[in-house]
Amino acid sequence: MLDKALLYDMAGRPIVQHGRTTSQDWDEVQDFCRRVYMPYRVRPLGHLLNPDATMRRANIRRITLTRFSYGVPIHLDEFDPAAGNILVLNTLRGALRHKYTAEADAMTGPGESFVVDCSRTEYWLDGDAEHMQLNLTIPHDVMAEVAHRWFGFIPDDRLWTRRVAFGGDGSRWQALLHYACQSIQANGQVADNGIMGRHLEELICAELLMLWAQGAGVSLKDGARSAAPHYVREAEAIMTEMAQDPPTIGEIASRLGVSVRTLSGGFRQFRGISPRDFLRERRLEGLRNALRNARPEETVTSIAAEWGYVNFGAMAGTYRERFGELPSQTLAFARSRH
């Protein structure tokens, strides 16, 4: 189902690529890998072997997709944690052997996938001469953002340090990858990379989180939310209810009978974010909902002012970073539907 991924669009037209798509030069191949994955060490598993690499890429917002192979057997290790990236290695042909636990490795063949957060744990892999991959590179922060939005908290290292094999031919994950690849046009861009790009990024990250958590034995339904102390849950309720005209963090802490330091520490431990980050998210969501339900006489400026935004330029930049479009675009789209 994914044999032609990143080669042709859904109409059968070749997908345009900028730069070389094949190489027999190690330096050229490693430059590509540093840019789309992260710095790491590669060693050919044979004497005087030159690569016969395939190097193709596309982006779905902040996710990088690559169709890649070295064309020779290789060993990869020393992945740079500072890059802050998660790798999802989806095998199309051949096989990979992955570091799984301290004592065991795992094999993935065609249709099978493997996820590792290289910012949180060490990793190595071996690839045979036939390996061909459809890989995803996802910044850790993007996954954390989606986790908080979908599940109300950011998982801790019980999830991020676990390496997990999953998928298989006919799996929902394979179907999702096919859907994502079919959304890439001949120009190498996702059709309407605003709305469709956000939709695909969200779907991919959410599905991956659920599969990853299942394989790691981590609960996303209960998780840190059930363990959070009462003052964290009550602070969330206050900030959600009063997002349009919120009290200060100090006032919330005082109302709950805890210090600002205790409240902030609870959010950091059980939510992975600060109270201010939580409130900022609720306010942006409230603003977006108000734009979607604006009355005919309302404008972006008037709605933003009602939500207490003073610096409209900074607000628009934050809004676009969060939702992938400007507030004016949200308002215009909402009105076009009426």
Q: What is the pTM of this model?
A: 0.76
DSSP character string of 273-286? S-HHHHHHHHHHHH
At 108 the pLDDT is 96
3-state secondary structure of 147: helix
At 226 the pLDDT is 53
**Side by side, which strands form the sheet with 41-44?**
41-44, 74-77, 125-127, 96-99, 105-108
Q: Which residue matches tokens 């953002």?
A: 145
What string of pLDDT tens digits covers the 338 residues of the chain?
788 899 999 899 999 998 999 999 999 999 999 999 999 999 999 988 999 999 999 999 999 999 999 999 999 999 999 999 999 999 999 999 999 998 899 999 999 999 999 999 999 999 999 999 999 999 999 999 899 888 878 888 889 999 999 998 889 999 999 999 999 999 988 876 578 888 999 999 999 999 999 999 988 876 555 567 889 989 999 999 999 999 999 999 999 999 999 999 988 877 778 999 889 989 998 999 899 899 999 999 999 999 999 998 999 999 988 887 899 998 988 888 66
How many angstroms separate the CA atoms of 29 and 69, rounded? Answer: 10
At 166 the pLDDT is 95
